[in-house]
Structure 1
Amino acid sequence: MSLARASRSEFTKQFTTSIWWILAIALVAYVAFTASVLALALSASATGALPGAGEGPQVSEEGLPALVYSAATSVGYVFPLLIGTLMVTTEFRHKTLTPTFLATPRRFTALFAKVVVGVLLGALYAVLAIASSVGPGAAFLAGFGLDAEITSTETWSLVGRMVIAFVLWVLVGIGVGTLVRNQVVAIVIVLVFTQFLEPVGRLLGAFVEGLSDFTAYLPGAASDALVGASVFTAGVGNGSAPTTLEWWAGGLTLLGYAAVFLVIGYFSSWRRDVT
């Protein structure tokens, strides 16, 4: 089977199941809620509208829109990571990989078809997440009399980098799913790492001298560097400023994770016999 036919088959396989839109609804709700809370709190602080705001330091208006809009990736990246992982592990769990390989004997073609469809899913999730953060975020900023910067080139550059980040996260997820066949184990690994291990490591890196030189290369930190804004790097209290990568280096680092996982998974797991 050619790559075009394999990709068409993979496209049908992904969009005739419910998991993609269930995760999409969760993504929209989670990002919209987070962006709304951030916009409300930060806008109120920046304008001095919070009770007792004059007693402490206020948030600067500079870069505030980017900080709010980037909630799409800073908190929403786990969803494209999960959908990429499920694209592969679901086949192992429901034993549909056998007919997939029978229809597409060239296993590299079968995997590359998942990558092609993964790029489309990443772009779709990016549009949904960005709309969910920019929409309510801009409304709250405007409501407090702040410039939402919707038409600025910086905002559109931010949007473009967020789309790239979402696509890369899906590819990382496909790599994880290829590497870890068991769906439950793969999901647990994804959630534990993204929701606990990396956040704790990055928090410690903000206060332990020299540690941020290493945590800057973690996937989430690389994604935030690629996007160029994140609530997790906006301020760290009285701790030392964490090391961050250039946007292009962050993108290459995240792409490197995807490539390494895909290559290792292909040779160690994808080519093995299936039953």
Structure 2
Amino acid sequence: MSLAAATRSETTKQFSTAMWWILALVLAVYVAFTAAALGYVFAAAASGSLPGDAPSMPEEGLAGLLYSTATSVGYVFPLLIGTMMVTSEFRHKTLTPTFLATPKRGRVLWAKLLVGVLLGVLYGVIGTAASVGASAGFLAGFGLETELASVDMWAQFGRMLLAYVLWVLIGIGVGAVVRNQVGAIVGVLVFTQFLEPVGRAAASLVEGLSEVTQYLPGAASDALVGASVLTMGMPGGGAALEWWAGGLVLLGYAVVLLLLGHLVSWRRDVS
């Protein structure tokens, strides 16, 4: 089977199940709710509309900060869909007929990567639309600039889409390395929702630790995007990579995991 045929087969396989749109729906709701809540509070603070002696915050960069909610809190969804693209094959034993139809296993992995790029762009559009739609209204309502006409803002949107694509590819790599679906999903959630956030929070308190934690995947993703609601509360913001360096680090994670998966797991016998 050619790469084009394998890609068509993989596309049918991924979009014929409900998992992709269920995760996309949860992504949209989760990001929209978070962006709306932060949009109201931050926009009110920036316009001086909060009651009492509540602290104000600068308007500069506020729009980009709110829009980055799509990646800073939503990146786990493209990571999960990428992981399940592979682990579901092992769990439901559909990889055996796939390899029989396409004996060149590397071609199957390439097909998954191409479909993963498509899913990354799709999830990126959904997540970005959810964060922008939920927070831009509050910015405009409080008389603040939405920056939607800014070239720099659209460049940030492009980097957000790139981050989503890279997270899907990382997920495919994780799925290829950790073939057990439950183990892979639990590992992804523990790392993204507990281990890395704790490590990055500790880095804001321990001198010099941020020089290490800036190379963690979530930190690299935030650096690629150029804004993150997760770093705004850290003293001094901590060390951060340039956007292009963050992208290379994130790409590096994807390449290493994919190579490991191909060499260690993808070539093993399946039943």
User: Which amino acid letter does the alignment assign opposite residue 13 of structure 1?
Assistant: K
Distance apart, 1:240 and its partner CA: 4.5
Counterparts of 2:86 and 2:69 in 1: how far apart (Å)?
27
Indicate the residue corresponding to 1:47 in structure 2: 47
User: Which amino acid letter does the alignment assign opposite residue 196 of structure 1?
Assistant: F
Equivalent position to 2:239, from 243, 248, 255: 243
Q: Provide structure 1 residue ranges, at least 5 long, that are not aligned to the other structure.
A: none
Indicate the residue corresponding to 2:263 in structure 1: 267
Equivalent position to 1:108, from 106, 109, 112: 106
Counterparts of 1:95 and 1:228 in 2: how far apart (Å)?
41
**Counterpart mapping for 1:1-275 below 5 A:** 1-52=1-52, 55=53, 57-236=55-234, 239-275=235-271
Counterparts of 2:61 and 2:205 in 1: how far apart (Å)?
23
Q: Provide structure 2 residue ranges, at least 5 long, that are not aligned to the other structure.
A: none
Counterparts of 1:38 and 1:154 in 2: how far apart (Å)?
22
Q: Say if 1:209 and 1:240, in contact at 8 Å, map to a contact too.
A: no
The number of equivalent residue pairs is: 271
Counterparts of 1:240 and 1:154 in 2: how far apart (Å)?
23
Q: Say which SS state the counterpart of residue 263 (structure 1) adopts.
A: helix
Q: Say if 2:83 and 2:172, in contact at 8 Å, map to a contact too.
A: yes
Q: Say if 2:35 and 2:131, in contact at 8 Å, map to a contact too.
A: yes
User: Which amino acid letter does the alignment assign opposite residue 100 of structure 1?
Assistant: T
Q: TM-score, normalising length from structure 2? A: 0.99
User: Which amino acid letter does the alignment assign opposite residue 263 of structure 2?
Assistant: F
Q: Say which SS state the counterpart of residue 122 (structure 1) adopts.
A: helix
Q: Say which SS state the counterpart of residue 71 (structure 2) adopts.
A: helix
Distance apart, 1:232 and its partner CA: 1.2
Distance apart, 1:241 and its partner CA: 3.6
Superposition RMSD in Å: 0.8
Q: Say if 2:45 and 2:54, in contact at 8 Å, map to a contact too.
A: no
Counterparts of 1:133 and 1:216 in 2: how far apart (Å)?
24
Structure 1 runs of 4+ with >6 Å offset: none
